[in-house]
A and B are shown apart, each in its own frame.
Chain A
Amino acid sequence: MKILVVDDERDIQTLFEQRFRKEIRDHSLEFAFAFSGEDALTYLAQHAHEAVLILSDINMPGMSGLELLGHIKQTYFKPPPVVMMITAYGDAENFNMAKQLGADDFLTKPVDFTLLKEKLKNIH
């Protein structure tokens, strides 16, 4: 399963690679990283339908996670990839907005990887 992680924090790549090193090693999971909403859209345009799951931060300079979410859910209608939103604000407003735009799930920072792994299993 290929997962696209979108966040403006560059260390997120190292973190994910370490956190999922076993999964990466045994090729059960594959990761791609984008450091802005625009990057993510470019990646998706080039690798259509490759990514099954998109994990996106909401607060990013330029295109926000929510805008990205809107684009993804509109452009890649069939089959729409699963999109999980990650944000530093655990507020209801962000949550509702993300749900409304079609987000499949919602995570707060700091990311609980045990919980994330559980969620990924369910997607399998």
Chain B
Amino acid sequence: MLLEFILAMVIIRYLRTYLKKENITASWDRQLIIALAISIGLFVMGSVFKQLVYAGALLLDILLLYIMWTAYNTRVFLPLKPAIYAVLPYVVVSVVANIVPLLSRQWADDIHEYSEMAKLFAVIWMLAMWFITKKQRKAIETERLRAQEKEKQYALTEAIKSQLEIQVAERTAALTQQKEELQQALTELQSTQAQLIQSEKMASLGELTAGIAHEIQNPLNFVNNFSEVNTELMAEMKTAIDSGDMEEVKAIADDIIANEQKINYHGKRADAIVKGMLQHSRSSGGQKEPTDINALADEYLRLAYHGLRAKDKSFAATMKTDFDESIGKINVIPQDLGRVILNLITNAFYVVAEKKRPLTPDGRVNLASKDYVPTVTVSTKKTGNKVEIKVADNGNGIPAHILDKIFQPFFTTKPTGQGTGLGLSMSYDIVTKGHGGELKVSTKENEGSVFTILLPLQN
């Protein structure tokens, strides 16, 4: 009786604790309180009236079965099923043990030992189940906590991840902007470079213009004057015809013919100069054509000289040429190669003029200046399957520390505003990329420099 009662108390309390823990209220709890009251009543009844001990215990058993049945079939108590399994054997044993005394005392005494044994096993079962369940629950709880912890960690990771994503997006945006800015800067630089190259062309054209003016006025001088002379001679011829002096007429006619030839020659000379100027100012994209390298070098030597002379009245230099007449015509872009030659010659004239200056750049008297004869030599030579064009000066030479920079764009030793620093770099490009040749320099301090253009013959 006492065991059944304690069991009922424990089960009811267990259920109520469970309800409380799971926060399930109202009707269930009330029913359990009623069950509690009934079991207390039954216990009191059984304790007071000794003959009702078995009936009371049986009723308690039935109540327990009812409670367990209800709990078993109710979703709310689903997690408590192991507890029900634990208790069930004892309740069943108890029911049997309590029914039998009600039916027959003799039978009850017969099976007393077995029932006590069964009760003991049921209790052991119950305790074992209780332990196992508790252990399982603990394991589940630990698992749950671990899962919770994992979830927390996951949430944290997610938070960090999303934060990182935002940062990545920000950085990407910043980088994209930087890239666009750089792209724009690059575009601007490219257009500036293009403009500078154009202005370098214009600068060299400016150098040429003065030379060309001089070169063109000379033939024009002859064209104009010889034609005027011829007009006068024709008038004289008429007089001679009238007077019948045929000897004089013939002499005058010969003069006129000679003059006409001169007019024609100088007219063609002017024409060639203008064509050369047009070719020079034309932007690149010119075609390779068979060109007389010697004539080209000679033409640009004269143009460079007169160009410098026009700018600097005191400028004077000895020009030497040494042309290999066996070269013949080779395939080049004349205006481009002309630009290179002009550039090299202009540079050569510049350095010899610097050396000739009566004062050194730092203001001291240049003692060497008096005996120095500024000389620029242009020579051509055919060597094997190559043609070399050399522009040599007897200037101060190129200092070793800048020698590897001279072909770099924008590098110049001239004072600000006097050179774009593009001349040699453009020349280098024209010779190497445009003609598949080489542009080399050799220099000796105080003795001068030699620039050599090497062009392959078959191109």
Contacts and interface: CB of A to CB of B under 8 A. Distances in A.
> Which one of A59, A94, A97 has the highest number of Cβ atoms from chain B below 10 Å of its Cβ?
A59
A15 B214 contact: no
A66 B217 contact: no
B356 interface: no
B220 A113 contact: no
Contacts of B309: 59, 64
Interface string B252-282: 0001001100100010000000000000000
A19 B229 contact: yes
Interface stretch (B174-182, B311-319, B388-396, B403-411): B311-319
A79 to B, nearest CB: 27
A67 interface: yes
Interface in B105-140: none
Nearest to B211: A59
Contact of A109 (B217, B255, B259): B217
Main secondary structure of the interface of B (DSSP, over half): helix
B24 to A, nearest CB: 113
B149 to A, nearest CB: 94
B214 A59 contact: yes
Contacts of B318: 62
B403 to A, nearest CB: 31
Interface residues of B, number: 30
Contacts of B319: 61
B214 A110 contact: no
B278 to A, nearest CB: 20
A120 interface: no
A113 B228 contact: yes
A88 B226 contact: no
B306 interface: yes
A63 B221 contact: no
Nearest to B217: A88
B218 interface: yes
B217 A110 contact: yes
A108 B217 CA distance: 9
B213 A15 contact: no
B316 A62 contact: yes
A42 interface: no
Interface in A13-32: 14-15, 18-19
A91 to B, nearest CB: 8
B187 interface: no
Interface string A92-118: 011001000000000011110100000
Contacts of B43: none
Contact of A18 (B210, B229, B310): B229
A4 to B, nearest CB: 18
Contacts of A63: 316
B213 A89 contact: yes
B305 interface: yes
B331 to A, nearest CB: 31
B313 A111 contact: no
Contacts of A110: 217, 220-221, 223-225
Nearest to A113: B225
Nearest to B216: A88
Interface string A20-61: 000000000000000000000000000000000000001101
B350 interface: no
B407 to A, nearest CB: 30
Contact of A15 (B216, B222, B233): B222
Interface in B194-221: 210, 213-214, 216-218, 220-221
B313 A97 contact: yes
A109 B310 contact: no
Contacts of A109: 217-218, 220-221
Given A88-B218, A109-B220, A110-B225, A14 B262 contact: yes
Nearest to A67: B316
Nearest to B306: A59
Interface of B: 210, 213-214, 216-218, 220-226, 228-229, 233, 255, 258-259, 262, 266, 305-306, 309-310, 313-314, 316, 318-319
